[in-house]
Amino acid sequence: MPLGRGYSALHTPHSALGWGAMSGNAPNAPGWQRLLERPRLLHRLATGGLLLAALLSGVDSFVRSAPGVAPDTRAITYVFDAIAWMLVAAGATGEAYVAGLSAPRLRVGGRPHYLIVLTVGLGLSGILCLTLSFFAAAPAADLGLAGRVVKAIVAGMLPLVVGVALTAGLAIVWTERLRPWVEARLEAQLRELERRGGRREG
Q: What is the pLDDT of residue 111?
A: 52
Q: For residue 190, how many other CB atoms are within 10 A of its CB?
A: 16
Does residue 13 lie in a domain region?
no
Q: Is residue 71 assigned to a domain?
A: yes
In-domain check, residue 11:
no
pTM of the predicted model over 0.75: no
Task: Give me the pLDDT at residue 38, please.
Answer: 80
Q: Using an 8 Å Cβ cutoff, are 84 and 57 in contact?
A: yes
DSSP 8-state code for residue 140: H
Residue 31 within a domain: no
Per-block mean pLDDT, blocks of 10 residues, the chain (202 long): 39 44 52 72 91 96 90 94 96 86 51 82 96 87 88 95 93 78 78 73 58
Q: Say if 22 falls within a structural domain.
A: no
How high is the pLDDT of residue 191?
Answer: 81
The burial class, CB within 10 Å (0-12 / 13-18 / 19+), for 85 is middle
**Residue 157: strand pairing partners:** none
Residue at 43 is within a domain: yes
What is residue 124's predicted lDDT score, i.e. its pLDDT?
A: 96
Q: Is residue 5 part of a domain?
A: no
168 and 117 Cβ atoms separated by less than 8 Å = yes
DSSP 34-75: HHHT-HHHHHHHHHHHHHHHHHHHHHHHHHHTSTT--HHHHH
Q: What is the structure's pLDDT at 106? A: 43
CA–chain centroid gap for 163, Å, is: 6
**Phi, psi angle pair for 12, to nearest 5°:** -130, 160
CA atoms of 163 and 125, how far apart (whole Å): 10
Residue 116 in any domain: the answer is yes
Number of domains in the chain: 1
CB atoms within 10 A of CB 63: 16
Domain of residue 130, residue span: 38-201
